Chain A
């Protein structure tokens, strides 16, 4: 079929041959292959964010009975590029009393944390940069790094609202991290492996998808992941009518764009992880594997966007109570039930 793994192999062998012809050792070959792979993933991530921003605007518009961007390109598809070019030209206003070093590095940390996850996301058959043997644990750890970026942004801005927004964002992300990790533990009990490639390989048939065996785990993961992305109904820290713009109040131009990019990348990551863990990853008949992956992940992102225009926003105390008093006990119950289920089923 139109599988891309042969193309990947050809490019990899090409690099191998090229670097060996230059007389450099195998370590250099691996390095160049990794750089090329990282560049491809970066370009892919940029294109995905471009698409998602346009899609978010169209989907939001349709949910609100209006049309969304229509003028710039067919159905407004070039709108995002136009906006990116505009943001590029905006003045980078750095307020007078910010903590310059931290202020500069906060968007970098947030974006790099959002990007570094893509080392081990299985985009298709043979299309995974490195199938790390600690796959899903690595992903959970790296997504927690965004908290550092948030706190850096909030603190360095020298603005009460940004600081409060940063604290609240961090408290929210950190509170929902635990139920999300516990929901993943439920799946890991079934898969017996942390490696993303192997988890996908175990779900080749439709009835083998882990969603059937972990419905509660999936629901907990979905809710916790929505909160992780700071999306409505959990978007109090960055809602426009609340603390101005939350932790990004004092950021303008391209620096703001980096936070924005990181947010959309996180949405895609969360949907991609849900696809891999619960919906069989890139498995599926007829279509090539990467097409199935994209379809399932984009459906997941659509559900996240759907939530935004369906549910009202939760208050900050409701948010925190929900995480600690409801989701966390539920996640533990899920683990206990899964454990019991496996034990009964095995014996």
Chain B
């Protein structure tokens, strides 16, 4: 079991190492001639207007929130799915109730117009 996650750690380490080595290589080979115009923010050829960190629209937050709810539900569904064939009808109905509660939440959000993206 430990070696399972040692495998993951080795992959992560090697991935990071590969990217860093490639960047180093690129830095050695590529030219470097910075000037203020090259380094200015790209705005389709015009000079940048206003600060770049614009106001965060709330609809992103709402979608992220709904995603978190359904992702946690998915995490609950996985162990149930694995054990499903050895459980009886009771487990199925119980999970149905759980899913139904969350679908009511989705339906409420839908009716409230929260899932609309303008």
Q: Cβ of A293 < 8 Å from any Cβ of B?
A: no
Nearest CB of A to B73, in Å: 8
Chain B residues with CB under 8 A of A346: 85
Q: Is the CB of A185 within 8 A of B78?
A: yes
Q: Is the CB of B66 within 8 A of A324?
A: yes
Q: Is the CB of A188 within 8 A of B78?
A: yes
Q: Cβ of B47 < 8 Å from any Cβ of A?
A: no
Residue of A nearest to B66 (CB): A324
Chain B residues with CB under 8 A of A250: 41-42
Q: Cβ of A15 < 8 Å from any Cβ of B?
A: no
Q: Is the CB of B39 within 8 A of A96?
A: yes
User: What does DSSP make chain B's interface, helix, strand, loop or mixed?
Assistant: helix
Q: Is the CB of A321 within 8 A of B92?
A: no
Q: Cβ of B23 < 8 Å from any Cβ of A?
A: yes
Chain B residues with CB under 8 A of A30: 3, 6
Given the complex of chains A and B, what is the CA–CA distance between A95 and B96 in angstroms? 52
Q: Is the CB of B116 within 8 A of A129?
A: no
Count how many chain A residues have C-beta atoms less than 8 Å from C-beta atoms of the other chain. 79
Q: Is the CB of B43 within 8 A of A342?
A: no
Contact indicator per residue, chain B 1-44, by CB within 8 Å of chain A (1) or not (0) = 00110111011101110111011011101111110101111111
Given the complex of chains A and B, what is the CA–CA distance between A317 and B59 in angstroms? 11
Can you sample 24 A-B contacts with CB below 8 Å?
A35-B10, A38-B11, A91-B31, A95-B42, A108-B20, A116-B12, A130-B3, A159-B41, A159-B52, A160-B50, A163-B53, A167-B56, A174-B67, A175-B67, A250-B41, A254-B23, A254-B26, A320-B115, A324-B110, A328-B70, A335-B77, A336-B99, A339-B92, A340-B92
> Which B residues form the contact surface with A (CB < 8 A)?
3-4, 6-8, 10-12, 14-16, 18-20, 22-23, 25-27, 29-34, 36, 38-44, 48, 50, 52-54, 56-57, 60, 63-64, 66-67, 70-71, 74, 77-78, 81-85, 89, 92, 95-96, 99, 103, 106, 110, 115-118
